[in-house]
Structures are given as C-alpha cells and as structure tokens.
C-alpha cells in the first residue's frame, strides 16, 4: 500500500512532467503568502503554481481553483488528495468564477492568473493548439464551446478573418493570409492544422518563411484568442478581482504576449493613477482616489536559467499590485 508521503512524491513528479509552471519563485515573492491566506488560482491547469502555493498555507488557509478546461479538474481531483488546506474547484471562465465568488459574499487575500496555454493543451495533439502537429483545427480550451478554429476559417468572411489576424495576432501579413484562406476554402474546407500552416507559408514573402520561429505562430495565436474569447475574459476578470480582494490583498498576472500585458498594465495604471484632471491643473478636482499600488515597477521576466530550462517561459511577464 502506498504511503501518503510516497503518493505525494509520486504526484509531485507527475505534475513536473505534465506542466512546468513559469516564474514560480517570482510569483510567490509578490504574493507574500501567510499560512491563513485565502487565495484564488484563476488558471489551475495541471496545478503547478497551486502546488507551490499550498506548501505555504495551512489548515486555516483556503485555495479556490478555477479552470475552463475539464482536464484540469482531473488534475485537481488527484492533487486535492495530497493537501491539507481546504480547497474547491470551479470549472469555467475565470471572469465568471470571480463574479460568482463576489456575489456569494466571498472575499480573498490573493488572486493570481497564469494566462499561458498550458503544456497539457499544447502537447495534446488532437486539440489543435500547436502548429507543430497535424491535428484537427479545434483550439477550444473548453470543449463545450461551439466555435472552433475551423469554423472561423471556413465560415467567417475575409474582412473579419483579417481583423482577427491583425488584432489578436499582430500579424503584418494579415490581409494576404486572409485572402488566401478564403480562396483555398473554396476548393475544400479547412480541417487540419497542417492545411493552415501550408496556407500561411504560401501567403507570405519568402524571407518571412525562414525566420527563427514558425511563420504560422501569430495566426495560431490569433485564432486561439478568438475561439476562447481570451482578451474579453481578461478585461472582465481584472475589475472582478479588485472587487473580490480585501484591502491589502494582492493581484498578480503572468501574461505571454503584448496584447494581454497591455490590458494588465493599463488596468493597474488606471487604479494607481485614476485622476482624470488635465495635466496643467494645480490640484486634483475629479476626486478619484487610487485603489491600488504597484508591487512590480517594470514587469518581472524569467531569468536566463529559467528560459534555458523551459524555453516556453521566454515571453512571460509578471505584474502585481496591492489593493489599498
């Protein structure tokens, strides 16, 4: 019979293989947890960050975990058997979960979000998140969603596809790629990731095909964001997090591309410097008071050592602020 200690060690090893959490030590530093802290993990994934957070809590603490991916709940159910701190799992969009918690009268001390696509999603070929595998064009984090990446490619008009690629992928060849997508789907509908990769490569100038990164990277990012409504969820979640925090509570966000980071940066800035008076006014007359103070000045990024051991961490940025 396996002992509790042996089980815990085996589970910890399994978690390490399933997903390598990013900026873990830096996140723990800004959260500055106490044993009785009440914490919300908005993006549980395979539990990498939560495992380390729970090491710092005791039976008087609380961890509320959330994820829209049903696979994450399976990880949570296994993980829960190894911890002593009270914990609950909420499946769904984290913006909706934060709203649900607030309406129930819950308040917490710490909230953190890891906005990256987890390894369990990228490395599961049939989910279609990666341009590295030939797989169905799905990209849904929540399989209950009706919209897939294939639906966008096969049903949306050229102008709308172009907008998605430009706005969500910051793709400089968005117009060319969108035109090629619409032309190619007249021959046969898009079903596989390899078909999209081929279209992208054929649509862009030859020099752009041979850079250090896959030329379809931004297109896949754009479609994933559109399918899952990621930026809208983040915009809704940040004010909900602020409402849910107790005074002195901390909100921390790890983002992985400029669109997410910009939303987080602008939200925190608006809370720290809410005054809307013209710059030449000698005193503030709008009456808006700061609701947060920054913990991080510039965003915290991974060390060279972390990037070498986990290349997927290279674009991560951590920002954190404290509620006043």
Per-residue pLDDT reduced to its tens digit, 196-206: 999 999 999 98
Same domain? For 130 and 95 the reply is: no
Looking only at the bridges linking them, the beta strands covering 87-91 and 108-114 are: unpaired
Of 172, 198, 228, which residue constitutes the final position of a domain?
A: 228
- If you average pLDDT over residues 36-60, what whole number do you get? 95
* Pick from 250, 272, 239: nearest CA to 94: 239
Residues 318, 171 within the same domain: no
136-145, 272-281, 314-323: segment of lowest average pLDDT: 272-281
Q: Is 27 left (phi over 0), alpha (psi -120 to 50) or beta?
A: alpha
The model's confidence at residue 276, banded by pLDDT at 50, 70 and 90, is confident
Provide the residue range defining the domain that includes 305: 4-120+230-323
In this prediction, residue 209 has a pLDDT band, given cuts at 50, 70 and 90, of: confident
Residues 31 and 95 in one domain: yes
Give yes or no: residues 244 and 116 share one domain.
Answer: yes
Q: What is the pLDDT of residue 19?
A: 62
Which whole number is the average pLDDT over 188-192? 97
* pLDDT attached to residue 17: 44
- pLDDT tens sequence across 115-144: 988 767 776 777 878 898 899 999 999 999
Q: Please name every residue paired with 91 in a beta bridge, in sequence order, or none if there are none.
A: 67
Distances (CA, A) of 27 to 76, 233, 257, 324: 20, 21, 18, 20
Which of the two residues, 274 and 13, has the higher pLDDT score? Answer: 274
Residue ending a domain, choose from 228, 243, 271: 228
Whether the pLDDT of residue 4 is over 70: the answer is: no
Question: Which CATH number fits the domain that encloses residue 159?
Answer: 1.10.150.170
Residues 222 and 285 in one domain: no
* Tokens (6 digits) for 152: 């966008």
């Amino acid at each position: 019979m396996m002992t509790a200690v042996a089980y815990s060690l085996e589970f910890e090893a399994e978690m390490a293989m399933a997903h390598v959490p990013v900026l873990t030590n830096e996140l723990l530093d800004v959260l500055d947890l106490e044993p009785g802290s009440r914490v919300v993990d908005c993006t549980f994934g395979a539990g990498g960050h939560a495992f380390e957070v729970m090491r710092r809590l005791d039976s008087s603490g609380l961890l509320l975990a959330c994820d829209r991916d049903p696979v994450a709940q399976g990880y949570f159910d296994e993980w829960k058997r190894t911890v002593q701190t009270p914990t609950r799992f909420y499946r769904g969009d984290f913006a909706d979960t934060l709203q649900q918690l607030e309406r129930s009268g819950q308040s917490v001390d710490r909230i953190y979000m890891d906005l990256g696509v987890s390894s369990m999603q990228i490395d599961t070929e049939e989910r279609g998140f990666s341009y590295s595998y030939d797989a169905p064009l799905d990209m849904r984090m929540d399989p209950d969603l009706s919209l897939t990446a294939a639906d966008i490619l096969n049903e949306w008009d050229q102008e709308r596809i172009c907008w998605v690629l430009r706005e969500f992928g910051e793709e400089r060849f968005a117009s060319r790629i969108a035109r090629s997508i619409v032309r190619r789907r007249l021959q046969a509908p898009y079903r596989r990731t390899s078909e999209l990769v081929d279209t992208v490569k054929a649509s862009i100038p030859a020099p752009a095909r041979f850079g250090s990164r896959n030329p379809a990277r931004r297109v896949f990012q754009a479609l994933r964001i559109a399918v899952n409504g990621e930026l809208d969820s983040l915009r809704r979640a940040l004010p909900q997090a602020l409402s849910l925090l107790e005074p002195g509570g901390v909100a921390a966000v790890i983002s992985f591309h400029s669109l997410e980071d910009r939303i987080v940066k602008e939200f925190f800035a608006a809370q720290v410097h809410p005054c809307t008076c013209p710059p030449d006014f000698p005193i503030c007359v709008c009456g808006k008071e700061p609701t947060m103070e920054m913990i991080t000045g510039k965003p915290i990024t991974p060390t060279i050592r972390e990037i070498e051991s986990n290349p997927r961490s290279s674009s991560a940025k951590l920002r954190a602020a404290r509620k006043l």
